Amino acid sequence: MSVPVIAFFNNKGGVGKTSIVYHLSWMYAERGLRVLAADLDPQANLTSAFLDEDRVETLFQDERNPETVVRCLQPLIEGSGDVADPKPEQITERLALIVGDMALSSFEDELSKVWPDCLEGKPRAFRVTSAFWRLLQKGAEDHGADVILIDLGPNLGAINRTALIASDFVVIPLGPDLFSIQGLRNLGPTIRRWREDWRKRIVAWQETASRGKSSVANGLPLPTGSIDPVGYVVLRHSIRLDRPVKAFDRWIAKMPGVYLESVLGQESTHAPPIDQDANCIAKLRDYRSLMPLAQEAHKPMFLLKPADGALGAHAHAVQDVFDDFLGVAREIANRTRLRAI
């Protein structure tokens, strides 16, 4: 049985996507789940959040060890074998990371090239297209993971299509701005199209297997590509006196309707206000004052201690962040059928 994969994706950058993956990975681990975080963004920002520069440099020095996502894919890219067994970087006993790699962008052309070949049932096309899923599942098996959280880059290219096909669920982080809303309008129909396109390819694969055209077809496991939308999280909106500042009100008010129409393909005429919208997982505040401390300490904001500089008002803010992220973690766990935390 495969380990559930939850992707966090928006083709608009700068909405706090990496931050929410990072903090939820820690939160789930703190609450007893075994978590595999995977950095499938060629910018490798999630890796930078987890690891200091010295550790990243050490990992990249030994080219023989499959300790980054690209090195795991290298045998497949070169045609010398399948995906290598990953060696997740151990962050804590219950939290591990598949390390990102800026060279991942070089895999984009190969993924684009084989996508049409899947409709013809070609084994290599399916082996390449399902590579991320097999890599994630192998990493999860090595770590004994209960859940896999993946961070993706802000684009609608072949890398993200392949990563989403490997995902059971998708959470969409949003910022309260025009471009985030526009990104949602582009993202929703694209996810629906990718899901349908993958289903057509699965049918082609099954037909190949039933006709006995390929011995590989009967033995290669493939992801279902369900990409089930879990909902959206509003990030980095400022609050004064428990209300969003007026500059953000208009964009936040549009989110329920745009999500209904673009992501779920439903009529948005009677979309509820955001505080009554079941698709809104949470609205997270901008924790700007704590973020530099967390980055310096290489730990989540809700685990900052006085020794890290979390003194006075910062200490109270740390507890607020913990409560906020615990609420998000529980809501996503409920919607994705993870065990209670």
% residues pLDDT > 90 (the chain)? 68
> If you search the block for the tokens 């290298």, which residue do you land on?
74
pLDDT at 247: 67
Give the number of other CB atoms < 10 A from CB of residue 78. 8
Q: What is the mean pLDDT of the chain?
A: 90
The DSSP line for 222-288 is ------EEEEEEEEEE-EETTEE-HHHHHHHHHHHHHIIIIIS----TTPPPGGG-TTEEEEEE--T
Q: How far apart are CA 244 and CA 287, in angstroms?
A: 14
pLDDT at 66: 66
Amino acid code (one letter) for 154? P
Assess whether pLDDT exceeds 60 at residue 121. yes
Question: 95-98 and 89-90 as β-strands: parallel, antiparallel, unpaired?
Answer: antiparallel
CA atoms within 13 A on the CB side of 155: 11
DSSP state of 4: P
Assess whether pLDDT exceeds 70 at residue 17. yes
For the domain covering 5-284, report its CATH number: 3.40.50.300
The dihedral built from the CA positions of residue 174, 176, 182 and 185, taken in this order, carries a sign that is positive
Q: How far apart are CA 194 and CA 158, in angstroms?
A: 10
* Strand stretches in the chain, DSSP E: 5-8, 35-40, 89-90, 95-98, 147-152, 169-174, 228-237, 239-240, 243-244, 280-285
- Distances from the Cα of 45 to the Cα of 10, 51, 52, 53, 304, angstroms: 15, 10, 12, 12, 20
pLDDT at 109: 93
Q: What's the pLDDT tens digit per position in 262-309?
A: 999 999 888 999 999 999 999 998 887 888 888 888 899 999 999 988
pLDDT at 240: 44
Q: How far apart are CA 213 and CA 206, in angstroms?
A: 10
Assess whether pLDDT exceeds 60 at residue 212. yes
pLDDT at 295: 87
pLDDT at 241: 41
Q: What's the pLDDT tens digit per position in 140-161?
A: 999 999 999 999 999 999 999 9
Contact 281, 232 (CB under 8 A): yes
Two tokens at 78? 């070169």
pLDDT at 211: 73
Output the CA angle 13-18-21, nearest 5 degrees. 140
Mean pLDDT across the stretch 53-63?
83
Higher pLDDT, 236 or 209: 209
